[in-house]
Structure 1
Amino acid sequence: MNNIPITVIISVKNEELNLPCCLKELKRFNQIIVVDSGSTDSTTSIATSMGAEVLQFKWNGKFPKKRNWTLQNATINNEWVLFLDADEFVTEAFVNEVEIKIKDSNYDGYTIQFENYFMDKKLRYGYGFKKTALFKKTKGAYEKIEEDFWSHFDMEIHEHPIINGKIGIIKAKVIHKDFKNLEHYIEKHNAYSSWEAHRYLQLKQNKNENLSINQKVKYNLVNTGLLPLFYFLGAYFLKLGFLDGKEGYYLSRFKAHYFFQIQTKVALLKQNK
């Protein structure tokens, strides 16, 4: 069954709730590598019992982080690599499409789209989520951000892979469903907003123009103070998030508050400087 020549790389820390569902859908892929950061729960034993290779990564606070480190140091048996988080679950339709598309020599990477769940409900509206997470190991790596003095994430969270070649898109979606509770979601996004605030000031200082259109729009709106309002109006009304019921409302509010956190943390960092 494991005949699809792709190495799936899953970065984890204390993911005993999500990892079993992630791993059980990967049986058709040739190689599964779980890269752990010193989990204290049963994450590594679950990975080993389900047939995955387990690597331990200890970050020294500098480049490379977990995903680039894996590309540079792991024994990767295949040219194609697929990066997943433990709360991302592939579907049969996705696997079937990927099996066909990696045979197209015109492409060196693919963007993956997600079917999002929030508070255990499948969301059909609001802003979608996608990332380039499937690419040839000789054609791509995650961008390097100079963050040695302020980042506390050992994995590339917001960094994008830079692909030297043509990028396609996988139409079938991957399920994004975190089995951890709402408190974890809030705590995680509080940490993300601190990273984003530091990143925003770094980009402003360095006048970095190597940004995507979405990134430029986001950071320009942070500068005006309108990003939280614009996001909520866009997600809840323009993108019909209200049709997802109370879960659509809650997610729109939480994400708007996330951007409000970024803005206030930017203001505080400026003040402290």
Structure 2
Amino acid sequence: MNKIPISVILSVKNEALNLPSCLDKLKRFDQIVVVDSGSTDDTARIAKDMGAEVIQFQWDGKFPKKRNWALQNATLFHEWILFLDADEFVSEAFVSEVEHKITDPNFNGYTIQFQNYFMGKKLKYGYGFQKSALFKKSKGAYEKVDEDLWSHLDMEVHEHPIIEGNVGVIKSKVIHKDFKNLEHYIAKHNAYSTWEAQRYLQLKQSKNKQLSLNQKIKYGLLTTGLLPAVYFLGAYFFKLGFLDGKEGFYLARFKSHYFFQIQTKVHSLKNKQN
């Protein structure tokens, strides 16, 4: 079988639980590069044993962060790059669709949609999510955020890729299913909320802020203090999250609490500045 001419970049740290399932589904792609941030578990060994190339990344606190760094420094065989996390698992339908879509000369990138799992359950309702994680390396890169003095995240999490030209959509979904426990989920989002609070204050002080419509809505609601409640009502009732049972309720509550964390951390940081 001919391999699909795509370089897949997996950004990881301590992903021994998720990585085997992720890598096992990527066999049709020609190049797999695992960019590791000094894992202390068996992540690097698992990746090498399964045939992936492993590159170690140590962030110096400045631009670029992990994904842009990989674009600039890894030996990538192909023009098309697919960025995945270790808890994102492709399907055969997704791989086949991607193989076909990258031959279309009218597009330089594609948005990927995800099928979310939470606490082991497949969720059919609530807010879904997507990201533009497949693009030509000569036509895209992740946005640069001026965060040298305050960021503690070594990888682009909330930064969006800037892609020249048309961006299409892959209809087949990628499964998002983390095999780690709930404590990991909570700790991860606690770190993310700190970053978002810092970013919010930075944007408030910036005169040249370029925000998407979703960002304008999010930050506008954050300013009013209504974002946690609006998110919960939207996810659980308007988007029918209650039909997913307890897991649907738990996820809506955790996500609304995530926005509450951002809100309170913004208030705390403002007090420190005054």
* TM value normalised by structure 2: 0.99
**Equivalent pair of 1:19/1:43 in contact (CA under 8 Å):** yes
Shift of 1:3: 1.1
Mapping of residues 1-273 of structure 1, within 5 Å:
1=1, 3-273=3-273
Shift of 1:208: 4.0
Q: Secondary structure at the match of 1:8?
A: strand
Amino acid at match of 2:240: L
**Equivalent pair of 1:2/1:29 in contact (CA under 8 Å):** no
Gaps of 5+ in 1: none
Runs of 4+ in structure 1 deviating by more than 6 angstroms, as ranges, are: none
> Alignment identity in percent?
75
Q: Aligned equivalents of 1:53 and 1:139: distance in 2?
A: 24
Question: Aligned pairs, how many?
Answer: 273
* TM value normalised by structure 1: 0.99
Shift of 1:211: 1.2
Q: Secondary structure at the match of 2:71?
A: helix
Deviations 1:23-78 (A, max 9, x none): 00000001000000111100000000000000000000000000000000110000
RMSD across aligned positions (CA): 0.7
Shift of 1:2: 5.4
Q: Secondary structure at the match of 1:196?
A: helix
Amino acid at match of 1:20: P
Q: Aligned equivalents of 2:161 and 2:83: distance in 1?
A: 10
Q: Aligned equivalents of 1:208 and 1:179: distance in 2?
A: 40
Amino acid at match of 1:70: A
Q: Aligned equivalents of 2:78 and 2:6: distance in 1?
A: 6
Amino acid at match of 2:6: I
Change over 3 Å in CA distance of 1:35–1:124 after alignment to 2 = same
Q: Aligned equivalents of 2:59 and 2:2: distance in 1?
A: 31
Q: Aligned equivalents of 2:41 and 2:71: distance in 1?
A: 26
